[in-house]
Amino acid sequence: MKISVLVVDPSKPLPMDFPHFNDGPFHIPFYIYEMVSLLVAAFCHIAMDMLFVGLTTVALVQLIILNNKLMDKNKNIKYSKFYCDGNRHKLTVEYIKECCEHYIEIEGFLENIENIFSVILFIQLGISVFAICNGGLLLISVKIFSLQGLSVIFYTMALFIELGIYCWFGNNVYFESLKVIHSCSLSHWYEESNGVKKMLLILMERTKQPLQIKALNFTTILKWSYSYFALLNHFTNKFPFK
């Protein structure tokens, strides 16, 4: 069906009920306004998701760089233009100090992401709980292969994909931050002086708490969705709508 037919046909109801605009000369302009508004809202939603993905990817790449710097410590120091046997200890101390500062910057960057997105993610994931369970409740009351059933299936799949994107990239940052301790242990720390060993030990203690963006995890969302779905299904069967 063409969009022009949807717009011109005055029998098509507005997506939302607006008094004095449901019919009459303002019906068609308001219908177009709501279509454009929904389209803009959809693009803003996608842009917010992609912004989160992009920022978490930056943090992930920085953690990978930090892990490689720690594991390749000796090689990077050896090929430094200031390297010589007399100042190797000084270069090593500066190198480990730079790695510690790098980790602190990554930690601060993720804290800023969490401050910006934690409330947004909590609201969005909370709404997804109700949307998923309501979709499941609607799915058991309609034919699966009907147009309405297929639309509910695709909508629920889209919700799972969206939630999976957040959880996937968040988990990548979480597990990559856990590798920092392992990278420190592979940095040939036993060849260094006590001062360098202490710096590496402090960094390892700091990285015992993995970096993460806190909201809700995927398993919690599914548990809440199933609990809410089971509750609604119970009341629907006990008090059916007439």
Distance in angstroms (rounded) separating the CA atoms of residues 6 and 68: 57
Which residue from 94, 73, 68 is spatially nearest to 189, judged by alpha carbons? 73
Is 12 domain-assigned? no
Is 27 domain-assigned? no
pLDDT at position 1 over 50: no
- The mean pLDDT of 19-45, rounded to a whole number, is 79
Regarding pTM above 0.85, the answer is no
Is 153 domain-assigned? yes
Range of the structural domain that residue 190 is part of: 46-238
Is 104 domain-assigned? yes
Question: Which residues, 6+ apart, have CB-to-CB distance to 32 below 8 Å?
Answer: 7
Structural domains in the chain (count): 1
CB-side neighbour CA atoms (13 Å) of 98: 14
Is 24 domain-assigned? no
Distance in angstroms (rounded) separating the CA atoms of residues 99 and 194: 17
The structure tokens listed for 177 are 């931050």
Is 23 domain-assigned? no
Is 11 domain-assigned? no
In percent, how much of the chain has pLDDT > 90? 24
Question: Which residues, 6+ apart, have CB-to-CB distance to 172 below 8 Å?
Answer: 56, 60
pLDDT at position 242 over 80: no
Is 193 domain-assigned? yes
- The mean pLDDT of 166-179, rounded to a whole number, is 90
Residues 64-106: tens digit of each pLDDT: 999 999 999 888 888 887 777 778 888 889 999 999 999 999 9
